[in-house]
């Protein structure tokens, strides 16, 4: 991520279709071990309410915050731009619940390895 010397590694990816809600997420962990990491997620709706446009966030579970994130493909990096305090409450709940389920699944898979 921009502004940090820490390197992150993507270790898990998921995609969810639940009724008209959609979300993908990628779990990143620290290569240096200084922090746990977080989730890069994008959520949106299709064909009906709640009419969410695609919106990407960095979800830091330690801080329980959804942050604005911008991708820099040419630099292969992400830039955080502060907490998204205007995120729809229903979207925030959907993201947190989905990420919680995905983390359980990832941990179960890690236990089988």
Does the structure show a pLDDT above 60 at 24?
yes
End-to-end CA distance of the chain: 29
What pLDDT does residue 95 have? 97
Average pLDDT rounded to a whole number, residues 81-106: 95
Residue-wise pLDDT for 32-65, tens only, equals 765 568 999 999 999 989 999 999 999 988 889 9
Q: What is the mean pLDDT of the chain?
A: 87
Does the structure show a pLDDT above 70 at 4?
no
Strand order across the 8-18 sheet: 8-18, 21-30, 37-45, 55-60, 65-72, 77-83
Output the pTM of the full model. 0.86
What pLDDT does residue 37 have? 82
Please enumerate in sequence order all residues whose Cβ is within 8 A of that of 104, keeping only pairs 6 or more positions apart, or say none. none
Q: How confident is the model at residue 6 (pLDDT cuts 50, 70, 90)?
A: low
From the CB of residue 99, how many other CB atoms can be counted at a distance below 10 Å? 19
């Amino acid at each position: 991520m921009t502004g940090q010397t820490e390197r992150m590694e993507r270790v898990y990816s998921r995609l969810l279709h639940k009724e008209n809600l959609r979300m993908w997420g990628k779990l990143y962990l620290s290569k240096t071990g200084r922090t746990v990491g977080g989730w890069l997620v994008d959520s949106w709706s299709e064909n009906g309410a709640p009419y969410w446009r695609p919106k990407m966030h960095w979800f830091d579970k330690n801080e329980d915050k959804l942050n604005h994130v911008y991708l820099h493909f040419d630099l292969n990096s992400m830039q955080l731009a502060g907490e998204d305090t205007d995120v729809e409450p229903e979207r925030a709940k959907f993201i947190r619940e989905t990420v919680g389920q995905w983390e359980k699944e990832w941990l179960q898979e890690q236990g089988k390895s």
